Each structure stands twice: as C-alpha cells, then as structure tokens.
Amino acid sequence: METSLFFFSQLNMCEPKEKTFFKLIYGSGKEETSKEAKIRAKEKRNRLSLLVQKPGFHEDTLSSRSGQLAKETRISPEEAVIWGESFDKLLSHKDGLETFTRFLKTEFSEENIEFWIACEDFKKSKDPQQIIHKAKAIYEKFIQNDAPQEVNLDFHTKEIITRSITQPTLHSFDAAQSRVYQLMEQDSYTRFLKSDIYLDLIEGRPQRPTNLRRRSRSFTYDEFQDVKSDVAIWL
C-alpha cells in the first residue's frame, strides 16, 4: 500500500511543462463541453453588460476589485516613464505588462493581452503534439465564433486560422496577434498613458483605487489599416 502511494505521489510531481499554459487557457475548474462553455460565457457577458449600466455599480459591487488595484508597487517613476516611449517597451518590461493588464481589466478587455501572451508562449513550443494541442486551446478560447474570450478580428484573418487549425504551425496566429497588437497600441495604450494607474506611477504617488469603466466601443482592425505600426516586439 505504501509503495502504491509513493508511486502516485511521484506521478503528481512529474506534471508536463505545458500545464501552466493550459491553466491560462482553460482555468483550473472542472471541464465543460465546448457548447456549455460558450453558453455560460455568453450569459456572463450579457449579465455583466446590464450590471455595468446600473448607477451604483462602480461604487458598491466592484469595491473589492477596485481595492486590489490600489496595491502598492515597487515600480520607480523612471521605469514607468520608459513605458510611455512606446508600446513595445511597455510590453517588453515585466512590470509594464502586468500594469497594462491590470488597466485592461478595469475596461473588461483583458482578453486582448491574454491572447497576445498566449501567442508568445505558443511560439516557443517545440514538440509537434504540443503545437497542435496549444493551437487548439488558443483557437477555442479566443478565435472561434462565440469563444469565451473572443478577440476582435476581421473575417479574413479568422477564416485563414479556421482553415489551418487542424495542421497548425508556429506562425498560425502571427497575423491575428499582429492585429490585436495594433488594436491595443492605437486604442487601449493611448488611454493607459492618460489613466490614473499610469500617471500615479510616473509621479511617484501611491496607487489609488481605480473606478472600473464601461468598455468603449470595440474597434476593428479595418479602422486602423492605414496606420503603420512597428511591431518589433516579435523580432
């Protein structure tokens, strides 16, 4: 009996390295069917949309979440100033990426940065089976219609990914990642630089509770197709 317990304990210690990736994609709860997950996510978004419009929503319901955003950081003003030089420098810095993610959560648009992070991790995959499994996970969470955290992509880009998802390569999501990068750079990043979260950092003030705001109108890639962006972060 003791030998059996020892054996299973050793198995638990030998979890695959990609477990962290799939926790990011699927979470740690019980598995749900694809259809159930879509329905649950859609209902959650609808309830949240209605709730946000209530007058006392920000002051009462989200007080605990806002309090978390007031957590003290050790980021120096000098470091924060560098983030304002370019979107590339913001994402290249660990604390910058974390701070920007916290900002997106106040706008309920964190799916964009989570997709970008998942793509960065995906491109580091080496094992063929790992590439297939991770590509499928990203597609189901961020790309397919009514995905739990569907990102805003043009039809052509989504169609290319859908057709190639059965035989993915490390470059399968490059176009989609580039478009999401540009949307964040032209939309969210601009507001981030004007937000209390960022201004408090560059002025050395303690982080204050941040009111969560309604998400602005979702922009599409087509609205920025004439804007040239240096997506050097993947070079």
Q: Is 34 part of any domain?
A: no
Q: Is 118 part of any domain?
A: yes
Q: Is 131 part of any domain?
A: yes
Lowest mean pLDDT among 50-54, 192-196, 227-231: 227-231
Q: Is 133 part of any domain?
A: yes
Q: Do residues 154 and 221 make contact, with C-beta atoms less than 8 angstroms apart?
A: yes
Check residues 122 and 226 and name the one with the higher pLDDT: 122
- The 8-class DSSP code of residue 127 comes to S
Lowest mean pLDDT among 2-11, 113-122, 171-180: 2-11
Longest dimension (CA), the chain: 68
Between CA 113 and CA 180 the distance in angstroms is: 8
Token pair for 125: 């995959």
- Mean pLDDT rounded to a whole number for the chain: 76
| Count of the separate structural domains present in the chain | 1
- How much is the pTM? 0.64
The confidence band for 74, taking pLDDT boundaries of 50, 70 and 90, is confident
- Residue-wise pLDDT tens digits, 185-218: 999 999 999 999 999 999 988 877 655 554 443 4
Looking at the predicted structure, is the pLDDT value of residue 39 above 70?
no
Would you state the pLDDT for residue 207? 72
Q: Do residues 137 and 34 make contact, with C-beta atoms less than 8 angstroms apart?
A: no
Residue 151: count of CB within 10 angstroms of its CB: 21
Between CA 94 and CA 73 the distance in angstroms is: 13
Between CA 179 and CA 196 the distance in angstroms is: 27
CATH number of the domain where residue 184 is located: 1.10.167.10
Per-residue pLDDT, averaged over 216-230, amounts to 38
Between CA 48 and CA 46 the distance in angstroms is: 5
Q: Is 149 part of any domain?
A: yes
Would you state the pLDDT for residue 14? 47
Residue 198's domain comprises 77-203
Q: Is 11 part of any domain?
A: no
Token pair for 206: 């303690």
**φ/ψ bin of 218: left (φ > 0), alpha (ψ from -120 to 50), beta (otherwise):** beta
The amino acid at residue 71 is K
Q: Do residues 99 and 198 make contact, with C-beta atoms less than 8 angstroms apart?
A: yes
Q: Is 198 part of any domain?
A: yes
Q: Is 57 part of any domain?
A: no
Between CA 96 and CA 3 the distance in angstroms is: 48
Would you state the pLDDT for residue 57? 44
Would you state the pLDDT for residue 71? 45
